Amino acid sequence: MTKCYLVTGCAGFIASKVTELLLDAGHLVVGVDSLNDAYDPRLKQWRLDRLQPQRNFRFHRLDITDRAALEELFEADADYSAVINLAARAGVRPSVDDPWVYYRANCDGTLNLLELCRQYSVQKFLLASTSSLYGLHNPVPYREDADTGRPLSPYAASKKAAEVLAYTYHHLHGIDISVLRYFTVYGPAGRPDMSVFRFVRQIAENEPIVVFGDGRQSRDFTYVDDIARGTVAALEPLGYEVINLGGDRPVQLSAVIEQIAQLTGKKARIEYRPAHPADVPETWADIQKAARLLKWSPQVSVEEGLRRCVAWYQQNRDAMLPLELGDHVG
């Protein structure tokens, strides 16, 4: 049965892959994105250019913080099977410098969408959340029922607020809501401020890479195709559920750097800088709930995922080399 989905942030890393899966399954997708400069918008346009030729895809350039523009969209075409809110300001360190933009995108934007779902009787809402909600006081692997009331960054705090808003709309208005906490998503066409993209490009181009901390911090790297599969699986009716999607295998940053160096045939030139207080030393997802509710488990190993990232960069080097990078770790 063909359904129609509204996907926000559709030119983003995860959302473009989710959109691709929905289109491949024969569904209609209405995509919205502001194409802002949170990171180099040329990469967002690169992803969007690969979606726009598909006949079941309709794109609208708008910001989810613009409630009036969103309402016009819903008024024109509100027969959505679900709203998939993957639009967000992401990144731990930049949120410390400008917390306001994170609050607007992640809280106000989510509230606008939830209220329009209520107003136009959209019964399913999916919210992208983050492993950054887990803090230093949480034991690993992180479980969804852990205390997430002590976030270490404004980014994490804004996502926690969005989760709480989503629960309120489930409780008051009966909207079926899936909240997915993503763990360090990487893959081809990934964000240029994230570690894997940065390391691949910089090592391949004999540029120095910056590591905050000693490189022994570990992340539960999760391949984007696995994340997209889990996101689509969570569109089923679940009530209200918070679900981790992670690789279930923490890998030290130094090991990732070493493998990328081997794959590129280059030597990594590393500049170490002090760890940031908003970063945690380790992330690790307990994914038992995803297995139980979504019948989901990660399929792509870090070794295979990094191989694909390097191959993709080599194939798209001319387009990727001019991009501006950032310094977000994971």
10, 81, 209, 295, 322 from 39: Cα distances, Å: 15, 30, 18, 34, 13
- First CA to last CA across the chain, in angstroms? 37
pLDDT at 188 (0 to 100): 98
Domains 4-183+224-245 and 186-219+248-283+300-320 share a fold: no
Question: Residue 99 has what pLDDT?
Answer: 92
Report, as an integer, the average pLDDT of 217-221: 95
272 among known catalytic residues = no
Domain boundaries, the chain: 4-183+224-245, 186-219+248-283+300-320
Q: Which residues pair with 243 in a beta bridge?
A: 180
* Token reading at 38: 């949170």
Residue with tokens 């990469």: 43
Average model confidence (pLDDT) across the chain: 95
Per-residue pLDDT tens for 251-275?
Answer: 999 999 999 999 999 999 999 999 8
pLDDT in tens, 168-177: 999 999 999 9
Flag whether pLDDT at 329 surpasses 50. no
Distance CA 123, CA 119 (A): 11
Residue 327 pLDDT: 56
Distance CA 65, CA 237 (A): 27
Angstrom distance (rounded) from CA 142 to CA 197 = 25
Does residue 330 carry a pLDDT above 70?
A: no
User: Is 3.90.25.10 the CATH number for 186-219+248-283+300-320?
Assistant: yes
- Determine how β-strand 185-186 pairs with β-strand 222-223: parallel
Q: What architecture is domain 4-183+224-245?
A: 3-Layer(aba) Sandwich (3.40)
User: Structure tokens of 313?
Assistant: 């960069």
Q: Which of 39, 102, 155, 313 is catalytic?
A: 155
Give me the pLDDT at residue 58, please: 97
